[in-house]
Structures are given as structure tokens and as C-alpha cells.
Amino acid sequence: MTNDTQSKELTDGFHLVIDALKLNEIDTIFCVPGIPITDLTRMAQAEGMRVISFRHEQHAGNAAAAAGFLTKKPGICLTVSAPGFLNGLTALTNATTNCFPMILISGSSEREIVDLQQGDYEEMDQLAIAKPLCKAAFRVLHAEDIGVGIARAIRSAVSGRPGGVYLDLPAKLFAQTMDAISGKKSLIKVVDAAPRQIPAPDSVRRALDLLKGAKRPLILLGKGAAYAQADADIRALVEKSGIPYLPMSMAKGLLPDNHGQCASAARSYVLAEADVVMLVGARLNWLLSHGKGKTWAQDKGAKQFIQIDIAPTEIDSNVAIEAPLIGDIGSCVSALLAGMGSNWTQPPVEWTGAIYERRDKNVAKMAETLAKNPPVMSFQSALNVIRNVVKANPEAIVVNEGANTLDFARSIVDMYLPRKRLDVGTWGIMGIGMGFSVAAAVVTGKPVIAIEGDSAFGFSGMEVETICRYNLPVCVIVFNNNGIYRGIDVNASGGADVAPTVFVKNARYDKMMEAFGGVGVHATTPAELAKALEEAVASGKPTLINAVIDETAGTESGRITSLNPQSAAKNK
């Protein structure tokens, strides 16, 4: 062996993973350390990356997904093998369903032992399990392929329709060494990972012709429109067209909720009466009754749809789409604006006037409800406090989950800026609260207000320790009504056990935050809630407010009670 060979500088799998991420301007990892990735987390932190360690992989994965939505770069979740990997799968699949770019990187057992099923530590064929649950899945076996593996994962996560990607890194990979110069050359800087996809000119003309002929047009904005970060053009399209718009929950704030064309307070009316609906980054899934049925009043005549989507396969997935625009939202909206010209005719005043009259009447009715101050706080009186604080602090990010807590909050708490509301999204699952809150605080530095049902909070509540550990500006508000939906159900058998939906009465969730050094507040009145929330936002200190609301408040499953088979049968 020559002296030249002996003096060659080496690198290893650990550093190649870190260098590949940093080369692609990824600077944060969300994780739960353990075998075989503990050393990787230490080294990443030593190399200047921010490593946010959670108490459970699902919440680390949810944080990565939310980071992807907010930044348009894939959020990175790092987990241990087998059970840790499985814990991360819920977040990975949820990210894919919601079109959030994230990469789940998991250590794994050695291939030769897994393939022969010889009983390795946490043995599992993780790649095979992940494949059907995400957008793409890759495994890297050799150090010289780490750059390719990470580049493919990044491009898969953000190109076309964004989603979750799984990257499998067996334990042996990390210790593999290679010449440092060759290792550096093997890394790939991903160029134009999500290229613009320009819509065909004839599809733009078709959509504009349909809009021109509409008597009762409606624009429906989905969270894809928020993700696109084409905020100025989307606003210009809405305002130039004069068409009323309806934002889905995570699109709230693309235009302020108090904008003159916002039809949120007349939602049922516009969905039923519109004759042409333009979907911008929204899908006709269950949240929109699949474009069918009573919600859309199909008995009054068929609707015509324009749909902007980057995935051609989404078109006609539920109902016929007369004018599909296939391309990225920014390019499609820009093309529509250019095609409208300077003499665009706005919708008939009979249509807009009828909407705004109903909207204003409903807003006034809601104001009366919000002004009430019952002896025990209701959802409305508590949310009115949050509504006012958010209005005074529009940069704050709202995270929201629960059944009734979600349903009431999304219609009561107005948003004024884009990408300031994160919630349960397409799947409607619980457990996103603390992961999304941590990510929002970490990647934006803005105050976060997490509005949580007491049941929803239970899924990720232990992560308040994570919030305290990193001293994040997160205020968690737990709407405590002693149970799932409400706290008054009884055991039908007359037995000693409480009903399945009932929690410990008068629980003090605020003490959890205090246990880890944060601020805990027990609030029983709107005044106490307002004081605590205002102080939390101003101070930036980790805070949990236990907001006691009427335990009789709430209905089963919020507004989707009909999805419960027994309830559906009763309603027939």
C-alpha cells in the first residue's frame, strides 16, 4: 500500500447523507433517535443542521409534512427501523393524500438477513410495506448511490403532484466508506425539481369561454392553491373576474376572509346554485360531496366544472369536467389572466347580489351568537376570543383539529394571509396538532395558535415537552368538555365503567405544560382566555390554556354524523 493511498481522506455513509441534504438546501430534520440512526442525528447537528427530536415518530412525520407544505421543499422525517418506521407511515401516507412533499428516511435491518427471514433485530421488509402507501419508495445499498437516492427522493416528492416518499437506508450503509473526493462527486444538486407545466392554449380558451357564458359562476380555492405560492396572481384572477370565491379550510387567507367577494358565509347557497364552478387546487372528494347529491342541488340542473390540476388523472374522477386545465397552478392562473384581456365582463349582479345579501345576513346572525356570554363557555364564545386575537395578529399560524372544535373554528376564525391555517386536511385524521405546530414554529418563526379538541389533543399531547424543549412560540388551547364530542354520555349497561366517549372530569391539561417548564393557564371565562392568549402570543413562551367549555356542547362527529352507520340508519 502506497503512502498516497494511506493518506487519502475518506468519507462515510453518515456524512454523505448529510452532505446530500445540505447540497439541496435542506437544513432541518424531524426525528426520533434510536438504532441505527442516533449517530446520524448527532452528526447532522454537528454539521449545522437543525435536528428537532420528538417523542413519537408519527408527530415527527407530521411535522415534516407541514414543513413541506409551508416551504415547498420536502420535509425530512428520520426514524429507526421496524416499529419506528411503522409509526412514521401514518404521517407519510397522510402527506401523500394531502399532496404535501415529505421524505421518510428510515434505518433498516440488513437485506441478506431480512430476505432469508432469519430473525434480525427489528427485521422487516420496510420498502415493500411502504410502496403502496406513498408516491415513491427507494432503497440505497451502497455509499456511492446515496446522492442518487436522495436526489430521486427529492424530485419525486416535489414534482408533479407533491407527496410522500420513502427512502430505506440499511444500517450497514452508514458505516461504508469511500474516497472523500469521489464521494463529493457522487452527490447530486437537484436542478428544477418541480418544473412549470404550462397549460395548453386551447384548454385555457375553453375554460374562459365557459366562464364567460356562466350566469352564476363560482371559484373554489383548495389547499393546492395555497401550496402553489401564486398568491398575487390568484388574487388578481378573483378580483379581475369579479367572481365570488369559496376557500376550502387550508386555502383561507389566500384572500382575506373579510374580502368583498368571499362567499364562505353563504357556502350552501353558492354550491347549490352555481352553474359553472372553477376548482383551483381543489378536488371533488368527500369534503365537497364528490360534486354530487344534495350539496350541489343536481336536481336543479347539471353543474359545469373547470378544474385546474397538475395531474391529468384527477380529471373526471367523480363527475365530468367540461374544461380541464392541466398544469401547475401558477402557470394556469397566469394564462387565464392573460386570456381575460382588458374588457372582461363581470358576473350578473343578480347572482353576486343574492350571494352577498345572504352572506351579510348570516354574518350578522353569527355576530349575535358570538356576542353571547353563557355562564360556561361555549365553542362560539371561546372561539370569538381566538378570532379577535388572530385578527390582531394576522401573522400567527393557526393549527386546528378535533370534531366540533374543527368545524366551528374554520367557520368562525377568519384568516387574513395565505398558509396561516393548517388542519386535518383530506383524510380528516386526528393527531396532527403538535407535529404541525412544531413545524410551523420552526420553519417560520411565527407564533402558533393550536386550537385543539380535548380528544384530538390526546393523540399528540406528549409533544408539549418537545415544544418546551425547543422553547417554541406555540400556544395550545385545549377545548375541554370532558370527552369525545361531549362529556355527558352514560354507560348504557348501567355498569361502573364510564361511557367510551367520556374522559376524566375536569382534567387539568394545563398542568402538563407546567410540568415541562411552560406556562399553563386554566381558563373558565372569555376574559381569562383572552388574557392568557394575548400574553402567550406577545411573549412567545410555550403555553397551554385549558379552556373549560360546556360539557353538553358538541354533536357526534361534528358535521359528519351521518358517516356513523348507526346514526345514518336512524336518519333514514
Same domain, 453 and 550: yes
CATH of the domain at 420: 3.40.50.970
In angstroms and rounded to an integer, the radius of gyration of the C-alpha atoms of the chain is: 25
253 lies in some domain: yes
Same domain, 290 and 343: yes
Cell numbers describing residue 511: 398542568
CA max distance for the chain = 88
Same domain, 149 and 21: yes
DSSP 501-569: TB--TT--THHHHHHTTSEEEEE-SHHHHHHHHHHHHHH---EEEEEEB-TT---TTTT-GGGSHHHHH
Instruction: List pLDDT tens digits, range 447-496.
Output: 999 999 999 999 999 999 999 999 999 999 999 999 999 999 999 999 99
430 lies in some domain: yes
The strand pairing partners of 522, in sequence order, are: 546
Cell numbers describing residue 408: 366551528
Angle at 24 between CA 21 and CA 25, to 5 degrees: 90
Same domain, 169 and 38: yes
Q: For strands 10-12 and 177-179, give the pairing.
A: antiparallel
pLDDT at 555: 86
Same domain, 379 and 315: no
Instruction: List pLDDT tens digits, range 61-70.
Output: 999 999 999 9
Domain limit, last residue, from 130, 157, 186: 186
Same domain, 150 and 55: yes
Q: State the pTM of this model.
A: 0.95
C-alpha 302/C-alpha 473 separation (Å) is 48
Same domain, 406 and 530: yes
pLDDT at 121: 87
Pick from 25-39, 114-128, 377-391: least confident:
114-128
- Please count the structural domains in the chain: 3
Q: Count the helix, strand and coil residues of the chain and give each as a percent rounded to the nearest 5.
A: 45, 15, 35
pLDDT band at 298; cut points 50, 70, 90: confident
Residue 525 confidence (pLDDT) above 80 = yes
Domain limit, last residue, from 186, 218, 246: 186
- Residues with Cβ within 8 Å of residue 268, at least 6 apart in sequence: 295
Domain coverage including residue 94: 3-186
pLDDT band at 85; cut points 50, 70, 90: very high
Same domain, 120 and 145: yes
pLDDT at 492: 94
512 lies in some domain: yes
pLDDT band at 554; cut points 50, 70, 90: confident
336 lies in some domain: yes
Same domain, 263 and 296: yes
Cell numbers describing residue 530: 383572552
- Over residues 83-109, mean pLDDT: 97
Instruction: List pLDDT tens digits, range 162-211.
Output: 999 999 999 999 999 999 999 999 999 999 999 999 999 999 999 999 99
- Over residues 78-106, mean pLDDT: 97
Residue 1 confidence (pLDDT) above 50 = no
196 lies in some domain: no
Same domain, 405 and 507: yes
- Over residues 102-112, mean pLDDT: 94
- Over residues 382-407, mean pLDDT: 97
367 lies in some domain: no
- Over residues 524-549, mean pLDDT: 98
The H-or-E segment that residue 370 falls in is helix 349-371
Q: Report the mean per-residue pLDDT for the chain.
A: 95
Domain limit, last residue, from 332, 356, 380: 356
CATH of the domain at 278: 3.40.50.1220
191 lies in some domain: no
- Over residues 317-323, mean pLDDT: 96
26 lies in some domain: yes
C-alpha 259/C-alpha 335 separation (Å) is 24
Strand, coil or helix: what is 496? coil
Same domain, 401 and 297: no
Same domain, 525 and 382: yes
The H-or-E segment that residue 457 falls in is helix 454-460
